[in-house]
Amino acid sequence: MQLYGIPNCNTVKKARDWLTANGIAYEFHDFKKQGINSSLIEGWLKQMPWEKLVNRAGMTWRNLTDAEKSAIKDTKSAQDLMLTKSSVIKRPVLVKDGNIISLGFSEATYKELLL
């Protein structure tokens, strides 16, 4: 199981703490240090609409210009944005066997899925 995100994100910290406290093994993939590639994002976009993967409530999105925001209108433009600004991806992304099993963190969802 892989957990994708950035280590200083509070939501990612909560997910990591919960997984560790419950003895659930996972590999952490740090977007900032390890990057992200187009094939991974393409795979995610086949499982989840771009509107869910792009975190429009986060600071990265809010710091985009209006022109940059309005340019994100389809899967391709969202993919390009996620590749250039990985912090715009909703986090954490929890993946098992190549499939997204959770986006964001909810203790109730993690309990239901993993315990």
Q: What does the pLDDT look like over 38-60, one tens digit per residue?
A: 999 999 999 999 999 999 999 99
Range of the domain at 57: 2-114
Whichever domain contains 9, its CATH number is: 3.40.30.10
pLDDT in tens, 12-40: 999 999 999 999 999 999 999 999 999 99
Nearest to 6 by CA among 52, 79, 58: 58
Tell me if residue 31 is catalytic.
no
The model's confidence at residue 64, banded by pLDDT at 50, 70 and 90, is very high
Q: How far is CA 54 from CA 64, 70, 73, in A?
A: 13, 13, 11
Task: Exactly one of 4, 5, 7, 9 is catalytic; name it.
Answer: 9
